[in-house]
């Protein structure tokens, strides 16, 4: 009976479900080796190539970005310099405009003063001319009144122009002498 019991136990030891067969292990190792060789031979170089291309593209992109950033910084500095120059130019133009405005105002003021002086002088000349005309007109009227009055007083006609002119001149000279003596006497008091 032992023999009967020993035979299933020996078979049971041989057919352990937890342990794979040696053939399966060897076959698995060969297939795994072939698969590892195929991955190492074909897949890994392709991954390495893609990795190198991406690394190169990223590094190139970074270099290009750095170049563009340096160009942008240089352009920005140039634009800031141009802006500063434009501000200085605008300030200079404003200052020149202020100076020109002040100069124009001074010139206009001088011209206005000259025009005012000319107008005043013209007014004085016109007043003087009108005064002379009034004096002449007044002398003529006074002369004719004086001649008429003298003719009535004397009783003779002073129709003679020469004689009437002499009488008028003498009368006016006497008037001026009287006015001058009154002015000298009134100014001394």
For the record, the structure tokens of 116 come out as: 């005012």
**CA pair distance 96, 91, nearest whole angstrom:** 9
Structure token digits, residue 144: 């004719």
Q: Residue 79 has which token pair?
A: 């634009």
Angle at 36 between CA 33 and CA 42, to 5 degrees: 135
End-to-end CA distance of the chain: 187
Tokens of 159: 């129709």
What DSSP string describes 133-157?
HHHHHHHHHHHHHHHHHHHHHH-S-
pLDDT at 152: 72
Q: Furthest-apart CA pair in the chain: how many Å? A: 212
189 residues of the chain, pLDDT tens digit each: 555 555 555 555 566 777 878 888 899 999 999 999 999 999 999 999 999 999 999 998 889 999 999 999 999 999 999 999 999 999 999 999 999 999 999 999 999 999 999 999 999 999 989 888 887 887 777 777 777 776 677 656 556 667 667 777 787 788 788 888 888 876 555
Q: How much is the pTM? A: 0.38
Helix, strand, or coil (residue 159): coil
Predicted pLDDT of residue 132 = 84
The residues, ordered by sequence, that sit 6+ positions from 93 with a Cβ below 8 Å of its Cβ are: none
| pLDDT for residue 158 | 57
Query: Which residue from 49, 26, 47, 50 is spatially nearest to 34, judged by alpha carbons?
Result: 26
pLDDT given for residue 66 in this prediction: 92
């Amino acid at each position: 009976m032992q023999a009967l019991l020993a035979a299933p136990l020996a078979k049971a030891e041989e057919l352990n479900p937890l342990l794979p067969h040696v053939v399966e292990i060897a076959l698995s190792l060969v297939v795994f080796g072939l698969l590892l060789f195929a991955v190492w031979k074909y897949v890994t170089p392709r991954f390495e190539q893609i990795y190198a291309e991406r690394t190169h593209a990223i590094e190139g992109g970074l270099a290009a970005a750095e170049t563009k950033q340096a160009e942008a910084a240089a352009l920005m500095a140039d634009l800031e310099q141009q802006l500063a120059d434009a501000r200085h130019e605008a300030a200079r133009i404003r200052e020149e405009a202020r100076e020109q405005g002040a100069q124009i105002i001074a010139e206009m003021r001088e011209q206005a003063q000259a025009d005012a002086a000319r107008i005043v002088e013209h007014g004085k000349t016109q007043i003087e001319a009108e005064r002379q005309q009034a004096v002449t007109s007044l002398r003529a009227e006074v002369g004719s009144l004086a001649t008429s009055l003298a003719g009535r007083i004397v009783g003779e006609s002073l129709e003679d122009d020469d004689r009437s002119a002499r009488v008028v001149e003498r009368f006016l000279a006497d008037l001026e002498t009287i006015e001058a003596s009154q002015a000298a006497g009134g100014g001394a008091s």
